[in-house]
Amino acid sequence: MAQWLQSPPGRYLLDWEQAQLDRTVTDLFGFHALQLGLPDLAGLRANRMPHRWVASDSLRAPEALPLPVADDALSTLMPMDAGSALHCDFDALPFPNQSLDLVVLPHTLELARDPHDTLREVERVLVPEGRVVIVGFNPASLWGLRQHAGHWRQRLGGQRPLYLPSAGEFIGYRRVRDWLRLLGFEVERGRFGCWAPPLRSEAGLARFAWMEQAGRRGWPVLGAVYMVEAVKRVRGMRLVGLARRQKVAKRAAAPAVVANRGTPPAWRQGWTNADETHTQEND
């Protein structure tokens, strides 16, 4: 993936993703943010959280990437020097439960050993109302179709290299949304980009730059890459068992005003007493 990003289509894709991430994370507030994978993309550079990490599942560290010192409250983390990255398995993150406010996944699910476990780990470490931003290749695009055709040519004995990186498996946009909903996330927005044809030369991609606006208006869901932003929702609690019965009992024992039908009003009591006195005198 890192080698492909140095090619003309890789730089074209990286420019779009960098611009979209800068616009997305700049207004997300909190204390702790994490980027999982793809250290070539500075997904958190526009974010203003005081503690940010870039995690990688390989020992290759990004060059000249200043990282803040780890927060002491996160006891499972060791302090990191500037220019180093956090190395860990994506399906076993070294963070406590509900400790991160933002997690960015740039092509992480496609390259992960188990994308389901990775997404479950992200849900575990996110605080309630925490956010996750996912970036991935769109298989329902011209780039995805060319990649699929390249796989078929290789199965038939062809030697031409694939257009996109061969590692990983593309995950569709709707499939990612379904996974997020199953884990209790609420998808807030999604967007597509990179509508140029799958060409290898920089001049060819620049020749079809007009397709960016045309694709955004005419066929938005056919972009080569998508971005999904979702929020972790935690539903409200309900009283059950003994606590619920106690609450109902207190509500039933509340004082209420009840009219006493056996005692006549004061004006009738006066008339009754006068009638009894008059009757006694006549007797």
Hey, what are 226's tokens? 């998508």
CATH 3.40.50.150 residue ranges in the chain? 4-232
Do the beta carbons of residue 193 and residue 225 sit within 8 Å? yes
Predicted local distance difference test score (pLDDT) of residue 127: 96
**CA–CA separation, 248 and 229 (whole Å):** 41
Tens-binned pLDDT, residue by residue, of the chain (283 aa) = 888 999 999 999 999 999 999 999 998 999 999 999 998 899 999 999 999 999 987 655 444 344 444 444 443 333 334 334 688 889 999 999 999 999 999 999 998 989 999 999 999 999 999 999 999 999 999 999 999 988 888 888 877 888 998 877 899 999 999 999 999 999 999 999 999 999 999 999 999 989 988 988 888 899 999 999 999 998 764 545 555 555 555 555 555 455 555 555 554 555 445 455 444 555 5
Predicted local distance difference test score (pLDDT) of residue 87: 85
Predicted local distance difference test score (pLDDT) of residue 155: 83
Hey, what are 177's tokens? 């949304």
Strands 32-36 and 126-137: unpaired
Predicted local distance difference test score (pLDDT) of residue 79: 36
Query: Which helix (DSSP H) or strand (DSSP E) does residue 11 occupy?
Result: helix 8-25
For 6, which DSSP code? G
List CB contacts of 176: < 8 A, sequence separation 6 or more. 109, 134, 136, 228
Fold held by 4-232: Rossmann fold (3.40.50)
